[in-house]
Amino acid sequence: MTLAYFDCFAGAAGDMIVGALLDAGVEMDALAGELDKLGVGGYTLGAERVQRGAITATWFRVHVDQSSPPSRHFTDIRDIIRQADLIGRAGARAEAVLARLAAAEAHIHGIDVEHIHFHEVGAIDSIVDIVAACAAMELLGAASVVCSPVPSGRGTVQCDHGVLPVPSPATARLLAEANVPLSGLQIEGEAITPTAAAVLTTLAESFGPLPAMTLTSVGYGAGSRNEGPLPNVLRVFVGQADSDGEADTVVELSANLDDCTGELIGATIERLLAAGCVDAWASPVTTKKSRPGWILSALCAPADASAVETIILSETTSFGVRRRVCARTKLLRHHETVQTRFGPIGIKIGSRGSAVVTASPEFEDCRAAAEAHHASIKDVLAAAQLAYGRAACHDACD
């Protein structure tokens, strides 16, 4: 499993996150192609190698046309992301980042989330930074994200709301909601921006020391400042998590529904699976006042929990989602192909240690072979199972 670990030794900003991922191996052309899907004009992209202290890093820049609208409502940005066909989980994750950021801003300013009017956060460069960060994660193949403790910074920052203390109120709320540990490092100025705080608290499974991993690349993303005792860069370590592959952690999210149609529930399950959930299902129950209803449930990676919550709340009539972390034991998996009279069929094999526990023919392979040979799927399944058994016996005898 590919793991990305963000080392925020000097802080983090949206452009620094993207720059670090580009420096770690994401292709700029591929990232630009994803951003083009937003259909938002008025900007050009740039990525250049710059020096920050003693470190050379990639500075990701969004050059905004000043004639473009300076800000948008949360609902406007959400609709832009939903209409874009972004890679993998990028769209769902970007929407979750924005929803988390909107909720923090709404709480601070006492405004309803649906009507909040962003300023810096709603500007084109911030929209691009958020979507670019989520898309770059997918392009890098990072299935898991972990982050170091973060420095809070000190002093004040000038923004459209006036002069605010550092960390800004929205940033402070985002960090507090996620129980993010602060490093205690004294950095003058804004060490972590609201955009970076929203991205990292949404995508990171945990905050702490560098986990065990086999390192494959390191990237450095530059910030705009070039002063201070520390290089103004964010570092990302990318590699394979050291694990036996037999245990992991997933999040189970559930919501009770007693006023939602079957069509909506079915469509929501499809969207949850498309967003990368391990599984999604609905179970019939009897709710309060003896009403018939459903429990809609989904399993997902911890980094995707916020995105999954957003889908359930936006696509159903639920007013709340339960969340629990589950430790999961699973078999190690690999695939083989067997030859049958119906043609080649894939076999999914599960093992525990060195012992094979189960072997199952791939159903879609069997369905396609059955249609091609005008046979029953049951016969193809049996033929595949028999072919695998013979091959396994032959290997054991050898």
Along the chain (398 residues), what's the average pLDDT of each consecutive run of 10 residues? 92 96 97 94 91 95 73 81 92 91 82 62 77 96 91 78 81 90 83 94 89 92 88 95 67 93 94 93 92 94 88 94 85 88 93 84 94 95 93 71
Claim to verify: residue 54 and residue 135 sit in the same structural domain: yes
Q: What is the pLDDT of residue 74?
A: 80
Amino acid 194: pLDDT:
92
pLDDT score recorded for residue 107:
82
Residues sharing a CB contact under 8 Å with residue 8, sequence separation 6 or more, in sequence order: 147, 148, 149, 150, 151, 183, 192, 200, 234
β-pairing, 2-7 with 144-147? parallel
CATH code for the domain of 271: 3.30.70.1380
Asked whether residue 206 falls in the same domain as residue 255, the answer is no
The residue among 221, 241, 261 that closes a domain is 241
Residue 322 lies in domain: 250-329
268: helix, coil or strand? helix
Q: What is the pLDDT at residue 186?
A: 77
Q: Give backbone dihedrals phi and psi of 169, rounded to 5 degrees, phi first.
A: -55, -40
CB atoms within 10 A of CB 377: 15
- Examine the domain organization and report whether 280 and 357 are in the same domain: no
- Alpha carbon 361 to chain centroid, angstroms: 31
Q: How many helices (H) and strands (E) does the chain have?
A: 11, 18
CATH number of domain containing 368: 3.10.20.300
Same domain, 325 and 336: no
pLDDT of the residue at 70: 55
pLDDT for 183: 87
Instruction: Indicate whether 157 and 281 sit together in one domain.
Output: no
Cβ-based burial of 291 (10 A; exposed 0-12, middle 13-18, buried ≥19): exposed
On whether both 235 and 345 belong to a single domain, the answer is: no
Q: Using CA atoms, how far apart are residues 201 and 220, in angstroms rounded to an integer? A: 20
Helix (H, G, I), strand (E, B) or coil at 313: helix
Same domain? 292 vs 185:
no
Alpha-carbon distance of 93 to 307, in angstroms, equals 5
Residues 230, 280: one domain?
no
Question: Of 170, 163, 207, which Cα lies nearest the Cα of 189?
Answer: 163
Two tokens, residue 155: 């002093």
Strands 206-207 vs 213-222: parallel, antiparallel or unpaired: unpaired
Compute the distance between CA of residue 233 and CA of residue 223 in angstroms, rounded to an integer: 6
Helix (H) or strand (E) holding 337: strand 332-340
Q: Residue 125 has what pLDDT?
A: 78
Q: Give which of 311, 246, 242, 303 is closest to 274, Cα–Cα.
A: 311
How is 2-63 classified by DSSP, letter by letter?
EEEEEE-BTBB-HHHHHHHHHHTT--HHHHHHHHHTT---SEEEEEEEEEETTEEEEEEEEE
Q: What integer pLDDT is reported at residue 78 of this predicted model?
A: 87
- Cβ contacts of residue 273 below 8 Å, gap of 6+? 279, 280
DSSP class of residue 212?
A: S
Residue among 264, 315, 322, 262 at smallest CA distance from 297:
322
Domain boundary among 275, 303, 329: 329
- Which residues have a Cβ under 8 Å from the Cβ of 183 and sit 6 or more positions away? 8, 9, 148, 149, 150, 151
Distance (Å, whole) CA 112 – CA 107: 8
What confidence score (pLDDT) does residue 21 get? Answer: 98
**2's tokens:** 């590919």
Please identify, among 329, 349, 378, the residue that sits at the C-terminal boundary of a domain.
329
Residues 231 and 301 placed together within one structural domain of the fold? no
**Confidence (pLDDT) at 77:** 85
Residues 162 and 291 in one domain: no
User: 207 and 94, same structural domain?
Assistant: yes
What gap in Å lies between CA 99 and CA 94, rounded to an integer? 9
User: Are 68 and 43 in contact, with CB atoms under 8 Å apart?
Assistant: yes
Please state the domain count of the chain: 3
Host H or E run for residue 309:
helix 305-315
| One domain, residues 170 and 262 | no
Q: Please, what is the angle between helix 74-83 and helix 124-140, to 10°?
A: 40
